[in-house]
Amino acid sequence: MKSPWLQTLRQRLFATPVDAAITLVCLYVVWRLSVPLLHWLVFDATWNGTSRDACKGDGACWVFVRVRFSQFMYGQYPIPERWRVDIAGALLVATAGLLSWRGLPHRRGLAIASVTVLPLAGLWLLYGGLGLRIVETREWGGLMLTLVLTIYAGLIAVPLGILLALGRRSRLPLIRFASVVFIEFWRGVPIITVIFLASLLLPLIMPSGFDVDRLARAVLGLAFVIAAYMAEAVRGGLQALPEGQTEAAQALGLGYWRIQRRIVLPQALRIALPAMTNEFIALFKNTTLVLIVSLFDLLGIAQAALADPAWVGMNMEAYVFAGAIYWFACFAMSQWSRRREKRLQAAYGR
């Protein structure tokens, strides 16, 4: 009876009669919610089969997800070319894994190299040209499109956000003013309107004959909004730096860009990284909004699959599957950012 484990349990769950009552009510609620859910998700669900007829039980019909799985991943990307998407994905995972290893020699240089070279390589792999068959962006879709939107919008948003944050703290009033207007404008409007703006208006305000790809337009729209949010995250990092750092560097006679690059930004970005990751998560979630301009991201392709007469009424299965992918990706990123924040707090002794 005196096992420490039981004692902790008692302390944490049954310390007072009120506590005990709360615990029991919670347990009851959890029980009532999770049992039917588990039945639907797992026990009563149909896993094997090739068509709708296989689904007889009351549970979920995962056959639908199985049959449509490759579409959820690649959209309408031509089947013989899908290896290219796989390679691009593998490259992404491998680089991310390699760079997160802290003992990697020349880690910083490699990071910069991969950030500049890999996006181009990825674009070449996915789009084609130079010996590869061209696969137009209208055939892209599913999870792959979601990732493309997130990564490329992020790649534009981060540098732009840093510049805007610097601009907002600039000594020059006009630059400061322009940065503030830009940031507050994009932060003040809903992303759905921005995507509309990018997809409907951009072709009208470009010179005729100058066509911007539909996907590129969505990427640009998302990038501008997220850049504004990134700028605020970076500004938080910049504000956390003591003024003395810049002053000391100025006293040494360093120029503005040099001070920013060598002294201010490396420290500020490290502080701002968790906040920036949160903006990145927001970007990832917000890519779902492109479905209003008929781009078929993960959610869009799930909805398109629902319109297939053979699978009408599989709403729950489609949304649960797609939602689970979003959830795991976002949860992983937010955990990473939280760990990073803890480490930072330890380092700065807060």
Partner 1 sequence: MKFYGLAAAAACSIAGSLIAGPAMAQTLAPSETLDAVKARGHIECGVHLGLPGFSFANDKGEWSGLDVDYCKSLAAAVLGDATKVKYTPTSVQQRWPVLQSKQVDLLARNTTITFSRNATLGVNFQGINFYEGQTFVVRTKAKVTAVKDLADATVCVAAGSTEEKTAADWFRERNLKITIINFQKNDDAISAYDQGRCDAYTAGLGALAGQRIKFKNPAEHQILTEVISNDPQGPTTRWGDERWQLVVRWVLNAQIAAEALGVTSKNVDEMKAKSTNSEVRRLLGVEGKFGEMMGLSNDWAYNLIKQVGNYGESYERTVGMGSALKLKRGSNELWTKGGLLFTPPFQ
Partner 2 sequence: MLTFLRDRKVRDILWQAAATLVTVAVIWFFVRNASENMVKAGIASGFKFLWRDSGIEVPFNLTGYRPSDNILALLWTGIVNTLLVSAAAIVVATAIGFTVGLLRLSRNWLLSSLAGFYIEFVRNIPLLFFILFWYFGVLAALPTPRDSADFLGVIFLNRRGLSIPTPDDVTGLRLALAAIVVLVAVQFGLARWAARRQARTGRDFPVWPVGLVLCGVLPILALVAGGMTTAWDVPTLRGFNYRGGFVLVPEFVALFAALSTYTAGFIAEVVRGGILSVRQGQIDAARALGLTEGRIVRLVVIPQAMPVIIPPITSQYLNLIKNSSLGAAIAYPEIVAVFMGSALVSTGQSIEIIAITLAIYLALSLAVSVFMNWYNARHKLVTR
Task: List interacting residues with partner 2 (CB under 8 A).
Answer: 12-13, 15, 19, 22-23, 26-27, 29-30, 171-175, 178, 185, 187-193, 196-197, 200-201, 204-208, 281, 285-286, 288-289, 291-292, 299, 315, 319, 322-323, 326-327, 330-331, 334
- Contacts with partner 1, residue ranges (CB under 8 A): 68, 71, 76, 136, 138-139, 199-201, 203-204, 208-209, 211, 214, 292-294, 303-309, 312-313, 315
> What does 42 bind: partner 2, partner 1, none (CB cut-off 5 to 8 Å by kind)?
none
> What does 120 bind: partner 1, partner 2, none (CB cut-off 5 to 8 Å by kind)?
none
Long-range contacts of 196-202 (CB under 8 A, 24+ apart): 196/292, 196/293, 197/221, 199/293
Q: How far is the CB of 145 from partner 1 (least distance, A)?
A: 14
3-class SS of residue 136: coil
DSSP single-letter state for residue 212: P
Q: How far is the CB of 284 from partner 1 (least distance, A)?
A: 23
> Smaller CB distance to partner 1: residue 140 or 280?
140
- The CA distance from 290 to 223, in Å, is 13
CB 135 within 8 A of CB 65: no
Q: How far is the CB of 29 from partner 1 (least distance, A)?
A: 28
If you compute the radius of gyration of the chain from its CA atoms, what whole number of angstroms results? 25
Q: How far is the CB of 126 from partner 2 (least distance, A)?
A: 23
> What does 235 bind: partner 1, partner 2, none (CB cut-off 5 to 8 Å by kind)?
none
Identify the sign of the CA torsion 195, 196, 201, 203. positive
3-class SS of residue 36: helix
> Smaller CB distance to partner 1: residue 34 or 315?
315
Phi, psi at 208, each rounded to 5°: -65, 145
Instruction: Give whole-number Cα distances, 174 to 159, 162, 181, 230, 266, in Å.
Output: 20, 18, 11, 21, 26
> Smaller CB distance to partner 2: residue 133 or 338?
338
> Smaller CB distance to partner 2: residue 3 or 208?
208
CB 297 within 8 A of CB 218: no
Q: How far is the CB of 187 from partner 2 (least distance, A)?
A: 7
Q: Across-strand partners of 142?
A: 297
